Every structure is written in C-alpha cells, then in structure tokens.
Structure 1
C-alpha cells in the first residue's frame, strides 16, 4: 500500500483547483491511501475524494509553528510520495521515496501574487502550474465529489421533484476581499433583470450562497428575491452540501471566489466577475466557465506603487450590469439551450 501526503491550500479556491491532482493520484495508484493536509475552511471538500483516508487541518500559528504541528503528525509514517503545493519545505524533513514540491515565489505576499497573477512573472493558470508538480502533460481539471449525506441534504433544500425545466440561478454576491467584490446593489439589479418579466431566466428560483459571516452583506440580494422563488443558503449549510446544491443549479454568477471555483467544478455554467485579480491565473476552470472583467485593466486598477489592498474599496465599478448580462447571455447560448435542467438524484 502506497501512502501519499498531499499538502494543499488554506483558501477554498486554491484548494478546489488542486482537487484534480487527487483524482489523478488515485487513478495512478489505485491502492494508495492519501492523507490531505490543508486549512480548516477547505478541509471538508477533500473528505469524500477517492482514496482519501485522512484529512489533517493546518491551523495557523504564530512563527509558522503550524508546520511543526503537521510534521509531528506525519513524521512517523513512511511515505511513498509527498506532494507539497505550499512549498513549505516539509517534504525535506519527512521520510519519503518521492517528493513533488510547488516552487512559487514565497517572498511575495498572497495579495501581491494574486494581483500579479502568477509566480515568476508568467501568466499561466493555477491549474496548469500545479499540474506541473506531477509532470503531467495535460492539466488536471478540478473535480469535487459530495458524500451521500451531503447529496441528501441538498435534495431537501432543492427538491428532486422539481420540474426538469425549472431554472435555478445561483448567486454568490460576497467576496473575501472588498476590492474584488461587485457592488451588492448591482447583484440585486442583475437578478431582477434576469429573472423578471422578459428576462433570460424569467421566473427562475434564485439560490443565494455565502458564509455565515457574509449574511449582512448578502441580505439585500436575499430580500430582493420573492419568498416563493428564494433559496437562502447563506450560512445555512456546510461546504460539501453547498457543492451538492450547486450541482443542482442551472447557472452561477459570482465574484472571483472559492464558490466560483466550486461551481465550475460542479460543471454548471459559471460566470466569474473579475477586476483587480488576474483571470489568466484564477479564472474558473472548465468548458462551461467564462469570465467578464472590468473595463479598466488589471494594471490600471492595481499596477502602481501606492496601491494598498488593505484600504481599498471595491475596484469593480467599471464592470457594468449590461456587460454582465451580455456575458450571461453568451455563456448560456453556448449551452445549446435556453434552459439548463436541474440536476436530480
């Protein structure tokens, strides 16, 4: 039996983008047992993936002592392979036959790398970069899997008895960084125009997504949807259930966020709204995914020495509602139908 340690990300988006590698390892080594080490927020997403035997939560501590904690939990195992997407150096202090380490520019802060797009000054997608860690000829598309329990919970929220012609529009209006969050009032108007009379998704039910601490910000969108058509999932379910809910939706619109990557992994039409982050590096991945960005370029938004991400307000104002509507129409037209059916189990 081959034991594999897979060190992934703290952030949900990066963690989702790494999941394709788990599937690849499970296919390459069918008898392997994979231990995933990642942040507490993203940990639930890995539990149901193939060959995953254990998920270790990396809880950040001062002076990087969390790496010492992880080492202590892994040091007494003989590993066949250690895959470290964090470039932490952990692989060099564990007994392992093989090491695969992502070598980014660790001198840069997260936000500097996010804004610039990539390490080493290139503009490759994150999925392509991390696929290089395993020397793969083709990138591994992100792929999640929900447990039977998560699917059952999702079915109770979005019943499988719904008509297959019913449209469910998923909206995630909040982002972790204010700079990349489209204004809430824009989402309210977008939903009104899409689901109102004559809209592309006229009469659609609307699922509003987000974390519990995002509820106050998301509330105007929630309240703008008539109760009979409202599916309020903000802070209501765990990530595996939320993913299973996304599988049952017809179309997704959201900021550059972890939920956007989850929607793309679910295979539903996914539109990501981008501005001060680089879509060449972090666009939702997949044939059913698309991006619409601000009229102002990345360089115009953040490419000056005085830029301070800690103090900025939204940088998404040059992205108009009309531009997003046009992008929705273009992406939906690619589906070959005016209606994408709800997934049922």
Structure 2
C-alpha cells in the first residue's frame, strides 16, 4: 500500500498487507519519483493506481489498473469496480485488534449511549452551520430512542477544535466529550465502533464511521451524495 502518513494506520491491521509505503506531497511532484525509486526493484503481480499517475507504467508488473474517469454519475466505489472489471467491490471495513480495543480510555468507557458527531470538514462549504448542530443535539438529548442517559462525543483532528468548541459551549460538560486532536485514525475507528450512531459532515471521518459498521448519517452540501455517500450496511 502506498499512502500518506495519516491514512497509513488504517491499513495496519489487514492480514494481507505486507508493506506500507508512506509518502507525502512535495514540490514539483518529487514524491512520485521517490515512490517509484522505492518500488521499482520489485516484480509486481498487479499494480492498482487510484491516483491516475504514470508511475505504474514504469514498474515491473504483470497487470495494471490505472484510474481514469469512467462514469461520474455513479458512486465512486461502483466506478472503481468498473475499473477492476468487477460487478461490485466489497464494502469498506476497518479491522481492529484486541490490543487496539484495550487502549480505549476509561473516560470513554464510562459513557453510555454515545452519539458520535463530526462537525467539521476540509472544505468550508461542506460544514453544516454550528447553530444547526446545536439544535440537532438538543433534539437528540430529548429523544428517548437512544436511551435516557446519552453522551455526545465529538471526533476530528486538532484543526477541528475551534469549530467544535462553538457547539460544545452550549451544553453541560458532563453531556459532551471532545476527542478532536486526541486520537489517531485507527483509534477513532475503535471508539466509533462503541457508539450508537455517527452524524456528521461529508468528510473522511464520515467514511471511517461507515467502515466501522455503525449507523452513519452523512450531511451533504455541494458534493454529490450519489457519488460520495458513505458506503456500508448501516450507512
């Protein structure tokens, strides 16, 4: 697997992943040259390039699949299935190990009926207004469906702290927990598996929630939900 540093952790628990090449974007696209130099001396059975780069053309391989737009009117996962000449691809999932579960904080385990919230995204237009999240959370806390005692848990990166605090300040501290910037992605997946439901903006966090197997409700703005909606049995 060749991926960025942040996402690399999501692949570490897959049994058939033997090596992870971590690379980060650099000026003049030097990162592609560096990746090529690290993979050139291998003989690959199959090379799958989801970025549509030229690197696969300069590797020793028996077969290659290079992404190019096929049908932008269908879901991205279905489009990748067409690329692989398959009827469908398996739904995304993130395996977690017992050692990962043991690392869950005692503070989190004390929470009951946790509702996960993802209040940010990497593009302002994708972010649902804070006041709307406040209204939604107030409704959830009154709703009996998820149990009398409910906890609202926020997930995200350290960049999401400011936006999340705008929402949290409207509630008593005992009702909300903010884990933004405190967990890596595999830890986020572990925590999400313990939540009743995830509600959040169109983001990577939304897809992690869906891949974790919990009920997932994605909030979409300008992006096409028909193409980028979370894929999962409970999404």
Flag the 1:157–1:103 CA change in 2: closer, same or farther, 3 A.
Answer: farther
CA gap 1:51/1:225 in 2 versus in 1, 3 angstroms: farther
Aligned counterpart in structure 1 of residue 201 of structure 2, from 255, 269, 293: 255
Q: Is 1:260–1:284's contact at 8 Å kept on the other side of the alignment?
A: yes
Query: Who is 1:280 aligned against?
Result: 226
1:142 is paired with a residue whose SS is: coil
1:39 paired residue number: 4
Q: Quick one: which of 76, 83, 101 aligns to 1:151?
A: 101
Structure 2 residue runs without a partner (length 5+): none
Q: Is the 8 A contact 1:208 1:221 kept in 2?
A: no
The number of residue pairs the alignment matches comes to: 234
Aligned-pair CA distance for 1:200: 4.3
In the aligned structure 2, how far is the partner of 1:151 from the partner of 1:191?
A: 27
Could you report, residue by residue, the CA deviation over 1:10-54 in whole angstroms, capped at 9, with x for unpaired residues? xxxxxxxxxxxxxxxxxxxxxxxxxx0012221111111221122
Q: CA deviation at 1:180?
A: 1.0
Matched with 2:89 is 139
CA distance in 1 between partners of 2:172 and 2:40 (Å): 55
Asked whether the equivalents of residues 200 and 218 of structure 2 are also in contact (C-alpha less than 8 Å), the reply is yes
Look up the SS of the partner of 1:42 in the other structure. Answer: helix
Q: 2:133 aligns with which of 175, 181, 187?
A: 187
Q: 1:50 to 1:157 in 2, by over 3 A?
A: farther
CA drift of 1:186 comes to 1.2
Q: 2:56 touches 2:64 (CA, 8 Å); kept in 1?
A: yes
Q: Partner of 1:296 in structure 2?
A: none
Structure 1 residues 244 and 136: alpha-carbon distance in aligned structure 2, compared to 1, 3 A threshold? same
Give the equivalent residue in structure 2 for 1:310.
none
Matched with 2:116 is 170
Q: Which runs of 5+ in 1 are unaligned?
A: 1-35, 105-118, 290-345
Which residue of the partner structure matches residue 187 of structure 2? 241
Residues 158 and 248, structure 1, Cα contact 8 Å, conserved in 2 = no
Q: 1:130 aligns with which of 80, 87, 106?
A: 80
User: How far is the alpha carbon of 1:224 from its aligned partner?
Assistant: 3.1
Secondary structure of the residue aligned to 2:195 is coil
| Structural mapping, 1:204-243, within 5 Å | 204-243=150-189
Shift of 1:157: 4.6
Q: What is the CA–CA distance in structure 2 between the aligned matches of 1:224 and 1:82, rounded to whole Å?
A: 50
Residue of structure 1 equivalent to 2:50: 85
- Does the CA-based 8 Å contact 2:93-2:213 persist in structure 1? no
- Please report the TM-score for the alignment, with normalisation by the length of structure 1: 0.64
SS of alignment partner, residue 161 of structure 2:
helix
CA RMSD in angstroms, aligned pairs only:
1.8
- Aligned partners of 2:102, 2:12: CA distance in 1, in Å? 16
Contact 1:206 / 1:225 at 8 angstroms: preserved in 2? no
1:287 deviation in Å?
2.9
* In structure 2, C-alpha distance between the alignment counterparts of 1:148 and 1:72, rounded to whole Å: 36
Q: CA deviation at 1:79?
A: 1.1
CA distance in 2 between partners of 1:75 and 1:209 (Å): 39
Q: Deviations over 1:174-202 (max 9, x none)?
A: 11100010011211221111113x55445
